[in-house]
């Protein structure tokens, strides 16, 4: 049977239109069709005025980059799925529209030329100049770039602060010459001045790149390594972080001995009676720095829920040290290794521990991805984020919902939990189980396409304003207007959202998923765990 597909196309001709609008075309679906095939069909048979760019039709020229169902991609390479009823195509968002899907990329090209993305030679070489295979391998993937601008269009930092940060394509262009041994120019300094440390390492650029270039690791990460280790280039706030990690084992400048104190008597609330360094524990709850010292109610709710579920668990208290996440992002790998080895050593003392549970998406990714892949350190236990463990407990009946919350809320997918590791469903399942009516973020920015909160990659410490502006953008543009609360599963995102709300005066409540779960499972008793103020925010929204 013939099947037709709706192609919804952004239309705008600034010469005659006051406002952009969308035209919808019905196109016959043919198996194997790509978005460019649909556009070409429309152009030839339905509307010859439609403007868009294409040339090679082979994913090589980069000219057909556009937004396809709210994600940047190449029209000539994006397959139309047989399940699609509608495909929406729009121009790349950060450039002015010349007409319909054609944008003016001049600003980007000027930005690119500024960084001199070509090899600068020194004096003429006197003997055969060898490039070794490993050197070629390092730059080869970066040279795959076809300059389609897809990554730049989706970068959260470019969106709010292109003046501060050159963006992924610029970083890639610098890296391909900076890492080339024939080059004599100081491109690392140039990258540093172009905002090398303002990348949140959210990996959205990698997600959309048609050539699958791993810019956060292979370009930004590698250049950060060189900037820090070979050129001693570090922003003052990052110097503080590195120093604090050395002295206090946390990046916040807090006293190492006070880690986990919030689980005792804290802020007028009673002690939770949580076991510290319990030798026969099976579950190790790793608080992380943000839950220990900034969003303490997250730590309290998590520990109280573990108790309620009857878990044989422990915390490390003052023996806990940072996971080292920030050091991986800054690329102080030597120091990061010392944290990984400490964690490995500590686990030897807790022989029954089979699971580490984290509150923070950053700790989760660090244990699960960075330790094994970047350092070869396997902790040898299951690593779970609290949303995964509590989802399991709810399904097994170890935790029971006393009263459904009856709230309306949206959910922010943290990059380290979602796009980096693929944990999308467990938080959503918990949200639904506790009776929260989940409204996904607007503009398709949820799950894989979620946008960073702005705080990752050391940006919160190095570029506070940028981090805040990204969170503010997300609140302003992506949170549905009739939704009064954003749910978080990372205290770092939570903290950054809260900061943007306070500074900008937005009306939006935030809650960590564990705080909501505490209220749903403990009822009024949750006041002793997270305090009156946090409970009232939740209860008042229930009433509303």
Q: Work out the number of other CB atoms within 10 angstroms of the CB of residue 501.
A: 19
Q: Is 235 in the site for ligand FES (CB under 6 A)?
A: no
Position 346 contacts ligand FES (CB under 6 A): no
Which strands sit side by side in the sheet containing 71-74, from one edge to the other? 21-28, 4-11, 86-90, 65-68, 71-74
Nearest CB to ligand SF4, comparing residues 447 and 528:
447
d(CA 450, CA 32): 28
Question: Nearest approach, Cβ of 353 to ligand SF4 (angstroms)?
Answer: 33
- Residue with Cβ nearer ligand FES (60 or 542): 60
Q: How many CB atoms lie within 10 A of CB 275?
A: 18
Q: How far is the CB of 131 from ligand SF4 (least distance, A)?
A: 22
Size of the site for ligand SF4 (CB under 6 A): 27
How far is Cα 48 from Cα 66, in angstroms, rounded to an integer? 19
User: By CB under 6 A, what part of segment 437-456 binds ligand FES?
Assistant: none
**DSSP result, 245-266:** HHHHSSTT---GGGTTGGGSSB
- Do 292 and 488 touch, CB atoms closer than 8 A? no
| Residue in 113, 114, 179 with CA at minimum distance from that of residue 142 | 179
Of positions 33, 76, 299, 326, contacts ligand FES by CB under 6 A: 76
State which residue, 166 or 251, has the beta carbon closest to ligand SF4: 166
Residue 82: which region, alpha, beta or left (left: phi > 0; alpha: psi -120 to 50)?
alpha
By CB under 6 A, residue 172 contacts ligand SF4: yes
Asked if 436 is part of the footprint of ligand SF4 (rule: CB under 6 A), the reply reads no
Buried b (16+ CB within 10 A) or exposed e, 206-217: bbbbbbebbbbb
Touching ligand SF4, residues 183-212 (CB under 6 A): 199-205, 208-211
Distance separating the N- and C-terminal Cα atoms of the chain: 49
- Among residues 150, 245, 311, 529, the one that binds ligand SF4 under rule CB under 6 A: 150
Mark the segment that binds ligand SF4 (CB under 6 A) among 32-40, 83-91, 167-175, 480-488: 167-175
Which residue number, 101 or 213, has a Cβ lying nearer to ligand SF4?
Answer: 213
Query: In angstroms, how far is CA 122 from the centroid of its own chain?
Result: 40
Q: Alpha-carbon distance 465 to 273, whole Å?
A: 39
Find the shortest distance in angstroms from Cβ 55 to ligand FES.
5
Tokens at residue 478, please? 């992506």
Cα 115 from chain centroid?
26
Does 68 bind ligand SF4 (CB under 6 A)? Our answer is: no
H or E stretch covering 74: strand 71-74
Question: Which option in ligand FES, ligand SF4, none does residue 188 bind, with CB closer than 5 to 8 A by kind?
Answer: none
Q: Which is nearer to ligand SF4, 147 or 282 (CB)?
A: 147
The answer to whether 144 contacts ligand FES (rule: CB under 6 A) is no
- CB of residue 24 vs ligand FES: minimum separation in angstroms? 23
Q: Give the x/- contact pattern for ligand SF4 in 213-232, rule: CB under 6 A.
A: x-xx----------------
> Per rule CB under 6 A, is residue 173 in the interface with ligand SF4?
no
**Shortest Å distance, C-beta 144 to ligand FES:** 12
Binding at 252: pick from ligand SF4, ligand FES, none (beta carbon under 5-8 Å per type): none
Instruction: Indicate which single residue of 74, 142, 269, 535 sits in contact with ligand FES (rule: CB under 6 A).
Output: 74
Query: Looking at 91, 168, 221, 426, which residue binds ligand SF4 (CB under 6 A)?
Result: 168
Instruction: State yes or no: residue 198 binds ligand FES (CB under 6 A).
Output: no
CB atoms within 10 A of CB 319: 15
Residue 421 binding result from ligand SF4, ligand FES, none, given CB thresholds of 5 to 8 Å by partner type: none
CB nearer to ligand SF4: pick between 108 and 251: 108
Contact indicator for 22, 10 with CB cutoff of 8 Å: yes
Q: Which helix (H) or strand (E) holds 27?
A: strand 21-28
- Helix, strand, coil percentages, rounded to 5, for the chain: 45, 15, 40
Residues 6 or more apart whose CB falls under 8 angstroms from that of 69 comprise 87, 88, 444
The b-or-e profile of 324-360 (16+ CB within 10 A means b, else e) is bbbbbbbbbbebbbbbbebbeebeeebeebebbbbbb
User: Candidates 166-174, 288-296, 401-409, 515-523 — which segment interacts with ligand SF4 by CB under 6 A?
Assistant: 166-174
Kindly identify the residues of this chain, within the stretch 25-64, that bind ligand FES according to CB under 6 A.
54-57, 59-64
Pick one of ligand FES, ligand SF4, none as the site partner of residue 76 (Cβ within 5 to 8 A by kind): ligand FES
CB of 62 to ligand SF4, least distance (A): 6
Minimum distance of ligand SF4 from residue 52's CB (angstroms): 17
Chain contacts with ligand SF4 (rule: CB under 6 A): 145-151, 155-157, 168-169, 172, 199-205, 208-211, 213, 215-216
Which residues lie near ligand FES (CB under 6 A)? Answer: 54-57, 59-64, 74, 76
């Amino acid at each position: 049977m013939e099947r037709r597909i709706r192609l919804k196309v952004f239309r705008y001709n600034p010469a005659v239109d006051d406002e952009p609008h969308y035209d919808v075309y019905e196109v016959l679906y043919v198996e194997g069709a790509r978005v460019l095939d649909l556009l070409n069909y429309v152009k030839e048979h339905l509307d010859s005025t439609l403007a868009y760019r294409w040339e090679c039709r082979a994913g090589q020229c980069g000219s057909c980059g556009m937004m396809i169902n709210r994600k940047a991609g190449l029209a000539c390479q994006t397959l139309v799925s047989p399940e699609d009823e509608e495909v929406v195509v729009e121009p790349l968002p950060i450039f002015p529209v010349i007409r319909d899907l054609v944008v003016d990329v001049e600003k980007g090209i000027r930005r690119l030329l500024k960084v001199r993305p070509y090899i600068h030679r020194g004096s003429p070489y006197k003997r055969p100049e060898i490039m070794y295979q490993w050197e070629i391998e390092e730059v080869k993937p970066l040279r795959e770039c076809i300059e389609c601008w897809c990554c730049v269009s989706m970068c959260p930092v470019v969106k709010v602060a292109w003046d501060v940060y050159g963006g992924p394509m610029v970083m890639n262009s610098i890296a391909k010459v900076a890492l080339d041994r024939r080059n004599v120019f100081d491109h690392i300094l140039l990258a540093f001045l172009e905002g090398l440390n303002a990348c949140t390492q959210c990996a959205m650029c990698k997600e959309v790149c048609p050539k699958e270039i791993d810019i956060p690791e292979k370009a930004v990460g590698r250049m950060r390594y060189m900037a820090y280790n070979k050129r001693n280039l570090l922003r003052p706030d990052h110097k503080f972080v590195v120093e604090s990690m050395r002295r206090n084992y946390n990046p916040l400048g807090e006293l190492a001995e006070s880690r986990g104190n919030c689980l005792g008597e804290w802020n007028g609330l009673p002690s939770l009676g949580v076991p510290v360094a319990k030798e026969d524990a099976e579950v190790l709850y790793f608080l992380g720095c943000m839950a220990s010292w900034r969003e303490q109610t997250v730590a309290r709710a998590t520990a109280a829920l573990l108790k309620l579920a009857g878990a044989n668990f422990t915390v490390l208290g003052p023996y806990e040290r940072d996971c080292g996440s920030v050091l991986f992002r800054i690329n102080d790998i030597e120091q990061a290794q010392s944290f990984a080895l400490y964690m490995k050593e500590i686990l030897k003392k807790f022989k029954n521990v089979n699971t580490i549970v984290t509150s923070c998406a950053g700790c989760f990714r660090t244990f699960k991805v960075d330790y094994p892949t970047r350092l070869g350190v396997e902790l040898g236990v299951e690593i779970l984020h609290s949303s995964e463990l509590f989802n399991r407990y709810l399904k097994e009946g170890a935790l029971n919902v006393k009263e459904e919350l009856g709230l309306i809320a949206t959910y922010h997918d943290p990059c380290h939990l979602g796009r980096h590791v693929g944990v999308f469903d467990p938080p959503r399942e918990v949200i639904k189980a506790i009776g929260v009516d989940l409204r996904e973020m607007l503009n398709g920015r949820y799950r894989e396409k979620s946008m960073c909160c702005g705080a990752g990659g050391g940006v919160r410490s190095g570029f506070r304003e940028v981090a805040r502006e990204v969170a503010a953008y997300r609140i302003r543009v992506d949170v549905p207007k009739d939704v009064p609360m954003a749910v978080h599963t990372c205290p770092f995102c939570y903290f950054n959202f809260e900061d943007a709300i306070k500074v900008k005066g937005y009306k939006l409540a935030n809650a960590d998923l564990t705080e909501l779960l505490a209220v749903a499972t403990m009822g009024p008793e949750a006041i002793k765990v997270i305090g009156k103020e946090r409970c009232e925010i939740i209860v008042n929204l229930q009433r509303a």
